Chains A and B, each alone.
Chain A
Amino acid sequence: MNDSARTQPGIFYGLVAITRRDLLLAWKRPGDVLNPLFFFAMVCTLFPLAVGPSAEQLTFSGPGVLWVAALLATLLSLNSMFMGDHEDGSLDQVLVSSQPLPLLALGKTLAHWITSGLPLVLISPLLAMTYHMPADVVGVLMLTLLLGTICLSLLGSIGAALTVGLHRGTALLSLLILPLAMPVLLLGANTVSLAADNEMYSTGMWALGAYAVAALSLAPYATAAALRISNE
């Protein structure tokens, strides 16, 4: 029981381990991953059916619809981020680990993004086709969604951590997150619209990137603090 002889696990070991565990869990329970994805696909395919096949109208509304659907799909998936861990007590174990909590929170967020954000980005070109989106605009759409879903997962982790102890916290979680998520939606949808109109769109892309970097550097700390508070 010599304290100095004990070797603490490395700092990033915890981040990698928690991401790996969550991905493994998602692999064993694909339903949780597929739900938001189906929602995204459904909204995006039903919309053209309801509005009618006019190409002009679809090209005009495409970026907005795709982005709103992506935002709502992400919000849907956020609630479960810490819920399972809270229910089976593994969140308690994570909170009393010797690893820095912000990094563990970042690991969980990373796993969430890989299982919910990344699939949205990957299937978006397919859905963009229904809106007659040209190939170069699809590229812009994917890039904005890539940055945007990273932002949303990171911001969402704060809300999910704050509402983890509450039953049916989904509505509250959405309310908490929406003000922070609004700039992401505006920047994302407008950037794609500008690209579709052949105008300068790089400003929006840079702004989204800056937002993602800011979220990446601040959100893990906020999430960690929120987890400690809501687990008292």
Chain B
Amino acid sequence: MLTAKLSAIDLTLLRGERCLFEGLEFALNHGELLLLQGANGSGKTSLMRVIAGMLSLESGEILWDGEPVSRQRQSFHGALVWLAHQSGLKDDLTLVENLRFERALRPQSSVEPEQVFVRLGIARLKALPLRSLSAGQQRRVALARILLADVPLWLLDEPFTNLDRDGRRLVTQLVEEHLADGGLCVLAAHQDVEISATVKRINL
């Protein structure tokens, strides 16, 4: 347990009167995927927010490198990137302007942004404000943010939403590459996900 890169001990989360989960534990190592599954409203996003350090727990602790996340928030946040339900991008700004701001928030990889744009099929949308992009295209821009970050831990909340079949296949590929590269990934999805890697499941 203590050797795991990312682990959780005895997580209990109450939201209002409801107990979303109790005594939840997991341990995740390099190259492993944690799959959060469950119906709508079962607490996938809440667990994701807990891992990101955004929600305070009733009890329990998230550990990164064996150290509680609450005691090393800044360095932990520098090691993760989070694809949330909302894109977190500004409608009025272009793709490039949005991603330029992103550079200030977390370590960036040395990958050429142009290559990432081409791979995600958004290279020709660079000069447009995001509001003129479709929901799926905006999702691809959010994915570009993840690919351009140089961090070991990916938190993906419903990454397949709004994406076409090619897009979904691309996400699967990207996650597999990231895991093969020694990264970690926590992925919440309500449908089945086929990813060839070591997968640990949590059913909420």
Name A residues whose Cβ lies closer than 8 Å to a Cβ of B: 1, 3, 6-9, 13-14, 16-18, 20-21, 24-25, 28-29, 84, 87-90, 92-100, 231-232
| Overall SS of chain A's interface | helix
User: For residue A28, which residue of chain B has the nearest CB?
Assistant: B92
A97 and B77 contacting across the interface, CB-CB below 8 Å: yes
A203 CA / B71 CA spacing, docked (Å): 44
Give 1 or 0 for each of B79-103: 1 = CB within 8 Å of chain A CB.
Answer: 1101011111111110001001111
Q: B77 near A98 (CB under 8 angstroms)?
A: yes
**Which of B30, B85, B104 has most A Cβ within 10 Å?**
B104
A-B CB contacts (within 8 Å), total count: 101
A97: which of B55, B97, B105, B108 is its contact (CB, 8 Å)? B105
Q: Assess the A94–B105 pair: CB atoms within 8 A.
A: yes
Residues of B55-76 at the interface with A, using a CB-CB cut-off of 8 Å, are: 55-56, 74-75
In whole angstroms, what is the CA distance A8 to B90 when docked? 23
Q: A6-B150, A24-B97 are in contact. Are A93 and B105 (CB under 8 A)?
A: yes
Chain B residues whose C-beta falls within 8 Å of the C-beta of A21 in the assembled complex: 90, 93, 97, 101
Complex alpha-carbon distance, A7 and B107, angstroms = 6
What B residues does A18 contact at CB under 8 A? 101, 104
Check if A232 sits within 8 Å of B54, measured CB to CB: yes
Does B152 interact with chain A (Cβ within 8 Å)?
Answer: yes
B182 touches A1 (CB 8 A): yes
Q: Are the C-beta atoms of B30 and A25 separated by less than 8 Å?
A: no
A–B complex contacts, Cβ < 8 Å, 30 sampled: A1-B181, A1-B183, A3-B79, A7-B107, A8-B106, A8-B107, A9-B107, A14-B105, A17-B101, A17-B104, A21-B90, A21-B93, A24-B93, A24-B97, A25-B92, A25-B93, A28-B93, A87-B86, A88-B86, A88-B90, A89-B84, A92-B84, A94-B105, A95-B54, A97-B78, A97-B105, A98-B75, A98-B106, A100-B74, A232-B56
